[in-house]
A and B are shown apart, each in its own frame.
Chain A
């Protein structure tokens, strides 16, 4: 059974600081997704990582994937308040092309 663990689950940081969110998963997978969810809203796709060593960047966020270590990171550079949200990673489950198993999410709060 695939398990996806994120840490930390809660993160309070100051504007301008850097931090990394980690996503570990328990079985082999070469595809990983990051989503953002604002309070009371739906999930918005941030990054699609499709191979070992993949790195994607959008603004102050950068995601990477190491399939050998079964680890993805979401790095936040010089955080701003607008990045406050919950971030989920999700991993493809087994051979089924459609299934994603989600982590429990990291709730990020960026304070002035």
Chain B
């Protein structure tokens, strides 16, 4: 079956602009995660959705970052007033959730964001 997909694969934007990054999880996975991976580092957690609601958004660095998952499937990560420090690879992952777990997370290929 299809894996986690992310679009665009690359995004170049100017400082101060608004960007949206999209994640399409594996069908049937109710849990969805966003991570950010800076150059030479491991991924860092941003936010976790269970269904349509954000169950844990403790990793969002500030209020310029926001994510939604309105129908419990596709999710969009939104970054306002981008800064050069936001440049990174943004990874999305999905998993089953609930009784019978724990379950492993499956990752998409990521979106490389470059803020100039």
Q: Do A and B come from one complex?
A: no
Report which B residues bind A (CB closer than 8 A).
Answer: none
Report which A residues bind B (CB closer than 8 A).
Answer: none
